[in-house]
A = this chain, B = another copy of it.
Amino acid sequence: MTAYDDLMARERETEALGQVAGRLGWDQETVMPRGGADQRAEESGAMQAVLHERRCDPARGHLLAEAEEELTPEDSESAAQLRLIRRDHDRAIRVPADLTVALARVTSRAQGQWAEARAADDFAAFAPVLREVLRLKREEAAALGGDPYDALLDGFEPGMTADRLSALFGEMRPRLVALSETALAADWPQVSGSFPHEAQMRLAREVARRFGYDFTRGRLDLAVHPFSSGSGDDVRITTRVSRADPFNCLYSTIHETGHACYEQGIDPDYRLTPLGQGVSMGVHESQSRLYENQLGRSHAFCGWLFERMRESFDELGVPDAETFYPAVNRVHRGYIRTEADEVQYNLHIMLRYDLERALIAGDLEVGDLEAAWNDRFAADFGQPVRRASEGVLQDVHWSVGLFGYFPTYALGNVYAGCLNAAMRADLPDLDAQLAVGEPAEAGEWLREKVQRHGGFYEPAQLIEEATGAPVSAEPLLDYLEEKFGALAG
């Protein structure tokens, strides 16, 4: 056995434990009896402690160093595995153990306080614990080294920097604002009716299957906030059902199907290794958004979907496919990021990105955050925030310490724009396929170009290899202007 083999046997076990911890999260959000919450917190904490200890273990560091010595230049797969292990190990050991423990403890408390504060629309009740989370995250960023915000961002999107993001967002912003104004001025039809739970779930299952989700290696359940969970041969998705709005269930399902197809599509040889998971949050979001928007909300697919929904439901409230398509893509004023349309979504992200950078840099105090949010929101979206739950308290992320995470959502849209343009060029018949409810060809293209590689390429390199061009916001903006220009025209 070489040091590499030893190391990989160890990593394999760690990855397996990581899957167990992830499934515990799935269980908690889907099937756990409500009385189990306190005990579950201890169980999850114990799993996290085991995983953290393995990440930081000096024996891992020694084996890793030996394995790096052994490495021969032609062995690109081993090099990629070692690169990921090196990054993970170095990030883990830079953060002092007591800081990690303090962060776990405070964010666990903060999440509960956030939920209460949100229910009471009371940011002041949340501010003290958020201040504590922020203090610890700034400590963590300092321990990681380099620019503090970049250090946190790198945990979600390896290789990405705030400079690069700001340049992208700077390019996007004026065109999105202009498009948003045009779109908001237009009239948008809406579906209406009563959509029985079971019929929605049947349709969700069918559509997930059509988009390539493999139910023999996954399952679809209900959750308050839909998510996808797991890697390899057990990748589960969740959705939710609103009786009045069938698109909630349907597009949540397609979104999570995108995440799940990414994980299910990774080269099986990488299973339970560091390469065996999606490479970054941004690339993950590129798959979910592309499935949801560029495919699922396309004119062609909406044509099929209209007919299919007419079979499933008594009444849709729209007369034909040509009215159904703008109803699916309706642009409207709203406060909530997760309910935003394709045009305005990225503006919601930019607001959070700017505020969280200022918080991490120490340029904005937690005490001033709500006012800063409300000012910025009014400026960007043209309406005043009425309550904290539709403003600064709407997202869980900051309470659990996810600073540097939000921009990966917008980055996912940018990547999806790049991939969609290249895919459309490669697959001239795709619309004809979508028009009969068959996105399989797109799924195969994405599996070949993106999904199967797992963590092999760095995110930016992956997109460049897949599309033949460097990452740019241009394709996304062109796509949005063409689509919503026509819809609002």
Interface on A for B, CB 8 Å cutoff? 12-14, 16-17, 19-20, 23-24, 27, 31-36, 38-40, 42-43, 45-47, 49-50, 214-219, 232-234, 236, 271-272
Contact = CB atoms under 8 A, between A and B. Distances in A.
A35 B219 contact: no
Nearest to A36: B234
A47 B50 CA distance: 10
Contacts of A50: 17, 50
Contacts of A32: 234
Contact of A272 (B13, B39, B234): B39
A43 B31 contact: no
A35 B36 CA distance: 28
Given A13-B49, A216-B34, A42 B272 contact: yes
Nearest to A45: B16
Nearest to A54: B50
B272 A217 contact: no
A465 B76 CA distance: 67
B47 A17 contact: yes
Contacts of A17: 43, 46-47, 50
B272 A36 contact: no
Does more than half of chain A's interface fall in helix, strand or loop, or is it mixed? helix
Nearest to A231: B39
A19 B39 contact: yes
Contacts of A40: 234
Contact of A43 (B20, B45, B218): B20
A77 to B, nearest CB: 20
Q: Ordered nearest first, which 4 A-B pairs have the shortest CB separation? A: A36-B234, A35-B217, A16-B46, A35-B216
Contacts of A216: 33-35
A46 B46 CA distance: 15
Given A233-B38, A234-B40, A20 B19 contact: no
Contacts of A19: 39, 43
A118 to B, nearest CB: 24
A1 to B, nearest CB: 16
Contacts of A45: 16
Contact of A39 (B13, B31, B234): B234
A44 to B, nearest CB: 8
A17 to B, nearest CB: 5
A27 B23 CA distance: 9
Contact of A218 (B20, B33, B47, B217): B33
A35 B214 contact: yes
A31 B271 CA distance: 21
Contacts of A34: 216
A23 B24 CA distance: 8
A57 to B, nearest CB: 12
A219 B19 CA distance: 23
Nearest to A221: B31
Contacts of A217: 33, 35-36
A39 B15 CA distance: 11
Contacts of A14: 46
A232 B34 CA distance: 13
A133 to B, nearest CB: 24
A33 B272 contact: no
Contact of A13 (B16, B31, B46): B46
Contacts of A31: 31, 219
Nearest to A49: B13
B215 A42 contact: no
